[in-house]
Structure 1
Amino acid sequence: MDCPACARKVETATNRISGVVSSKVMFATEKLVVRVDEPMLFSQVEAAVIDAGFTLNALDGSSNNTTEQDQPSGWQKTFKDNFHILAISTGMAIAAAFKGSYPAMSEWLFTLTCVLGLIPIGTKAIKLAKSGTPFAIETLMSVAAIGALYLGETVEAAMVLLLFLIGERLEAFAASRARSGVQALMSLVPEEATVIVNNERQSKSASALVPGDIIEVAPGDRMPADGELVSSNASFDESALTGESVPVERLVGDTVMAGAVLADKVVRLKVTSKQGENAIDRILHLIEEAESRKAPIERFLDKFSRWYTPLMMVVSLLVIITPPLLFAQPWETWSIADLHCC
């Protein structure tokens, strides 16, 4: 998701499913929370998200669409993410190069570039319309590009698409940078923990820890959950959570937060936090709650945009059809006038 508007598209698509009570997307942490009346709706929710043009991953990071090995990396990912922009830019550059010597060919190249660039945007607009968001930005861009092509303004049509794609890419980059801090926070909790059972060490998933489990942590390891120190005093680096640059000494009986790094010696602790309730999870919950509380002006703009965009499109359609139908005016004149105004 590139922006909160994408989150609303996912919410709209999933809320349309029969049996779904409510759907909420946490944009910062990229979570989808769905309340249902009946079980076994996961496949329908996943299908709705995919139909809306997005990918749904499980909480463990897996995806039914691609495997980790299939994911591009490095320059391949960069090229794939920016292929659309590069293709349109290259097409426009070639068309501009022929504009002086072969104006007719240049015009056709601009048209071809615009049509090819419009296909994925138009396809996504159709998907969003089917999933309950008919007036998405993709729809408006498609209408604008088609209108510019109708007027013969091929350069403007291609430029509209190029600027839209560049804007989306910058928005995705900004969202990625904003999420990097949240992702770094989520990565503080290790996936595995060493549990002491009958005085023997056993490996256990951190997500499977329950209050009362005795865990052992070695120097340099991070705490997999909130725990009470039971073996001996020890120093912990809590800078990732509190900003304190100097390790803090904890005494027997003190509580140590998840994500803290043990500094000096092997210790044992008793887990005190339930799954999803450790210090890291509480910080993430606060971020999600802060994100869900919209300012009054933001709520107003959300409601305003839901009515303004379709209203303007209806008015535009009336400008095109009313004079020809009621006053016998030429269709072409009012179509061109309306498109120029838009």
Structure 2
Amino acid sequence: MTEEKNVYRLQGLSCTNCAAKFEKNIRNIQTVEDVQLNFGASKLTVHGEATIEQLEDAGAFDGIKVVPEKQKVQEKKDPFWKKRENQTTFISAVFLLLGYFFSTVYGEESIQTILTFGVSIIIGGYSLIKVGLLNLTKLQFDMKTLMTIAVVGAAIIGEWGEGAVVVFLFAISEALESYSMDKARQSIRTLMDIAPNTAMIKRGKNEYEIAVEDIQIGDVMILKPGQKVAMDGEVIHGQSSINQASITGESVPVLKMIGDEVFAGTLNEEGSLEVRVTKRVEDTTISKIIHLVEEAQAEKAPSQQFVDKFAKYYTPSILLISFLVALFPPLFLGGEWNEWIYRGLAVLVVGCPCALVISTPVAIVTAIGNAARNGVLIKGGIHLEETGRLKVVAFDKTGTLTKGTPEVTSVVSLSEMNNLEILQVSASIEKFSQHPLASAILKEAKKEKIELLPVDDFQSITGKGAKATIGDQLIYIGSPNLFRETMSLSSSIEDQVKEQQLDGKTVMLLGTEHEVKGFIAVADQVRDSSFSVIKKLHKLGIQKTIMLTGDNQSTGSAIGRQLELTDVRAELMPEDKLSVIKSLREDYGKVAMIGDGVNDAPALASATVGIAMGGAGTDTALETADIALMADDLEKLPYTIALSRKTLNIIFQNVAFALGLKVLALLLIIPGWLTLWMAIFADMGATLIVVLNSLRLIRTKY
């Protein structure tokens, strides 16, 4: 029997403490086996049985609304001042100001002043005190419990004004925290709104507008100019430029023709297309991106795990310190009760771990969302942090540093045949070959508009080349080793071959059993962006850039010199690449491997961070790598490392600032300079600054 599992989206989830309490309340439902709450994505997974009413009851303390994941709901966006909690805060502020007016006119201990401050506390802090007192009965010491003790304590010792200020500033802090988390989560909402909910489907001779959930694999989708693609599919009629920026981050539209793949959420710019649907709505590339981004935001980064563990012991410690500050001096040193209770309450308020707890998740959520919008899929906070600490980047050669498609660089005649005849004969034989180098020769012949000759008795010679009869002559084409078996190559030919190989080219000789007629040099062209990418990586502080290739040492070294790589390891089998990555990790610690996610799977898995190129449409790349560059664009690599390093810096700044401010405020308590309202202002200020600092990551550009 399979366990029932339901996924919901949450509205109104305001803070990390509320999330933890909500999760705990759901666990207390008897029919619930397990629950996972993703705070960053506002998403809830429940294993077992629970009605929406039960779930909303569990979150009633924070006004949380629960909606099934697949249910389309237009989230109601109330203006800031229309939200009930903000209206009560405003009314509370009015009574707070009125209270200070009455204290000036009638004195601080007058009935008018106390009543006005009391009304301000009740209106602004009703929900806070209600939850805080309930927590206190259960001995749950979270942020709201600490605040409630501080407010009630202030009222008991006659500091009504201070209590009202604490309530008001805490409400402002909560509103700002809620607003900022909503801003950070906007990155996922933006992704979710990319693909349309309906599509025009052609069935027989009729066209219907159908909800994407009802579209089947094999249906034909009609796309007009200016329309967004609703489903992943393959073009079966027409051609058009498609803007894929939403998926791959590419700014330049891509021409799509018959047989090409299109992705849901991309924009058809100019032509009309008919597209055969190849994936269900839940399996489209954009759906996978959304799912992986949400999972990534749920996974706690090492720094967040540390902060959470620290906060677990920190809060009870603050409570104990506050208790000692309030009781020890009056009991043993003859201190004034009112004065030291007041100071104890100030410790309680300033020690609130709000800024500390939120310091990491806001930064992680914002950075992962920013990366996703720029075509980089980071599959967890741990990978984001590890990328920020990289010291070595290892590259696969083919398809990563190079274009992956060999091109003819030169045709040289060594006989009475001219260059075009050398190319014509070579292409005529290679027409029957499956080798990648053969396609380069055929492509060059097509470009030169050469007519191919009839060929008989074609035979492939494994690992060396091929032979065939043209006219009445047996012609060989292949590596220099193939010809060295039947003849002794002249020093002139050997020198020319060596010169081409030193330039990183593969040489294919053409000739008979007794004579070399000429040769063709073929090379896998280096990407235009590779050199600038390597330079940017070195500027970012990457100590070592290394290329791993199965090619010969000469070819590898030539590309290494051209790109100014730190090191080149050539003639490697897949298992050799794995060994190199392991040894690099032993020597340098943090190592990234970047490849196509298919051939390099073992090396990608072994590296500290595995980065796959061209993740769009490639399930293997999305599954095997820690990070996927959705476009086939190496330029995204420096951006990803720079974003990760900036995130690490911001997390460090946040934690240092949150703790530093608290230490400073606690020191001010010793001479009695710290008032209750200053304490809450310090806590609110720390929270606000930490959040705003994290939101700077939204502006990090590719």
TM-score, with normalisation over the residues of structure 1?
0.82
Sort the Cα spacing of 1:274 and 1:26 in 2 relative to 1 into closer, same or farther, 3 A: farther
Contact 1:13 1:52 (8 Å CA) reproduced = no
Distance (whole Å) between structure 1 residues aligned to residue 102 and residue 329 of structure 2: 40
> Matched residue pairs, number?
327
Match for 2:94 among 84, 90, 98? 90
Match of 1:249 among 243, 255, 259: 255
Q: C-alpha offsets along residues 81-117 of structure 1, whole Å, 9 cap, x if unaligned?
A: 5212211211111111222221212233112212332
Report the equivalent of 1:283: 289
- Structure 2 alignment gaps of length 5 or more: 1-12, 346-702
Pick aligned residue for 2:121 from 110, 114, 121 = 114
Q: How far has the Cα of 1:13 moved from its partner?
A: 1.9
Q: Deviations over 1:267-311 (max 9, x none)?
A: 221222233222222222232232223233321332333344346
TM-score normalised by L of structure 2? 0.42
Q: Work out the CA distance in 2 between the residues paired with 1:338 and 1:101.
A: 28
The reply to whether residue 341 of structure 1 matches residue 347 of structure 2 is no
Partner of 1:87, secondary structure, is: helix
Q: What residue is the counterpart of 2:171 in the other structure? A: 165
Correspondence for 1:48 among 55, 58, 61: 58
Which shows bigger deviation, 163-172 or 194-203?
194-203
Q: Quote how far apart the aligned CAs of 1:51 are.
A: 5.3
Distance 1:3 1:298, change over 3 A: same
Superposed CA offset, 1:24-72 (max 9, x none): 2223332211122xx5655433432335541112332449xxxx8xx57
Q: Which deviates the most, 258-267 or 45-54?
A: 45-54
Report the Cα offset of residue 263 of structure 1. 1.2
Letter of the 2:170 counterpart: F
Distance in 2 (CA, whole Å) between partners of 1:18 and 1:322 is 44
Partner of 2:32: 20
Would the alpha carbon gap of residues 243 and 320 (structure 1) be closer, same or farther in structure 2, given more than 3 Å must change? closer
How far the C-alpha of 1:241 sits from its partner, in A, is: 2.7
Secondary structure of the residue that 2:58 maps to in structure 1? helix
Q: Which residue of 192, 204, 216 maps to 1:210?
A: 216
Distance 1:3 1:109 in 2: 30
Name the CA shift for 1:22/1:335 in 2 (closer, same or farther; >3 Å).
Answer: farther
Does residue 37 of structure 2 align to residue 34 of structure 1?
Answer: no
Closer, same or farther in 2 for the Cα pair 1:172/1:41, shift >3 Å?
closer
**Offset of residue 145 of structure 1:** 0.4
- Partner SS for 1:101: helix
Deviation at 1:9, TM superposition (A): 2.6
Q: What is the letter of the counterpart of residue 110 of structure 1?
A: F
Give the whole-Å Cα distance in 1 for the aligned partners of 2:198 and 2:63.
34
Alignment partner of 1:230: what SS?
strand
Does the C-alpha gap of structure 1 residues 242 and 287 become closer, same or farther in structure 2, counting only changes over 3 Å? Answer: same
Kindly state the Cα deviation for residue 334 of structure 1 after the two structures are TM-superposed. 6.2
Is the aligned partner of 1:299 residue 2:305? yes
Amino acid at match of 2:123: L
2:266 to 245, 249, 260: 260
Whether the 8 Å contact between 2:39 and 2:298 is mirrored in structure 1 is no
- Do residues 224 (structure 1) and 230 (structure 2) align? yes
In structure 2, relative to structure 1, the CA distance for the partners of 1:237 and 1:173 (3 Å cut) is same
Contact 2:202 2:208 in 1 (8 A): yes
CA-atom RMSD in angstroms:
3.3
User: What pairs with 1:177-196 in structure 2 (closer than 5 Å)?
Assistant: 177-196=183-202
Instruction: Tell me which amino acid in the other structure corresponds to 1:209.
Output: I
Q: Deviations over 1:222-261 (max 9, x none)?
A: 1112111111222112223333333211121111111011
Q: Please give the per-residue CA displacement for 1:168-189, whole angstroms capped at 9, x wherever unaligned.
A: 1111121122122221211111
What is the match of residue 100 of structure 1?
Answer: 104
Distance (whole Å) between structure 2 residues aligned to residue 313 and residue 55 of structure 1? 32
Task: Deviation per CA, 1:189-241: give whole Å up to 9, x if none.
Answer: 11111222223212221123333222212222111121111112221122233
* Structure 1: 5+ residue stretches without partners: none
Distance of aligned partners of 1:180 and 1:320 in 2 relative to their CA distance in 1, 3 Å threshold: closer
Following TM superposition, by how much is the alpha carbon of 1:11 offset from its aligned partner in structure 2, in angstroms? Answer: 1.9
2:146 maps to 1:140: yes
Question: What is the rounded CA distance, in whole Å, between the counterparts of 1:133 and 1:183 in structure 2?
Answer: 37
Relative to 1, partners in 2 of residues 1:222 and 1:6: Cα closer, same or farther, differing over 3 Å?
A: farther
> 2:325–2:343: 8 Å Cα contact kept in structure 1?
no
